Amino acid sequence: MLRGGGARRAGGVIAEVVRRARGRALATLAGVIGEEGAGPVDPDVEPRAPAGRGEVSPAVLGAVALGGLLGGLARYGVAQGWPAPAGGWPWPTLAVNVAGSLLIGVLMAVLAGGRAPHPLARPFLGTGFLGGFTTFSAYALEIGALAERGRIVTAAAYLVVTAVAAVAAAWAGSALARAAVRRRRTGRSGGGA
């Protein structure tokens, strides 16, 4: 146990480590969100908005709302056409979340790698449609329902399988789309016959 001066020195060292770590974390965060006056990183936020007041245009809100409506209706259609068995594996929600993750990976890679997209493409398709199509809330509720029925192993497996499959699908969609964009670019600039 430290006493007297040793405790003060240890406390000072800990305080210095925390101060430095906090400084690095804030610097990293500033790099992620953009420096003051550099404009927002989120392209859906109006660049002219004062710092800290991320204003969204009515067109973006409309695109997100319409996309969300259509995505939610698509998910509802999947649930109606493929009902999950009571107490069984929630296949429809798993399929929707994995398919949506694959598509968001494709979308983001295509939007980042191609010519300048329409300014409402990402809000409508990404945030709106795919955000409305995929569902974290149903996933969480289904895990809780399985656990309440005593299906702890199934609940835990569903929790892990969905998370791993969704991340893998987003990565695969992004990788496939980036490769397709590269092939398309080299095909155009390659000068073929």
**Residues 179-188: contacts with CB within 8 Å, 24+ apart?**
181/109, 181/110, 181/113, 181/114, 182/113
Q: What's the pLDDT tens digit per position in 107-157? A: 999 998 877 789 999 999 999 999 999 999 999 999 999 999 999 999 999
> 126: annotated binding-site residue?
no
Ligand-binding annotation for 131, yes or no, is yes
Q: What is the pLDDT of residue 27?
A: 47
Average pLDDT, the chain: 81
pLDDT of residue 37: 42
Model confidence, pTM: 0.70
| Each residue's pLDDT tens digit, 14-46 | 556 555 655 554 444 344 334 444 433 455 555
Q: What is the pLDDT of residue 116?
A: 78
When pLDDT is cut at 50, 70 and 90, the band that residue 67 belongs to is very high
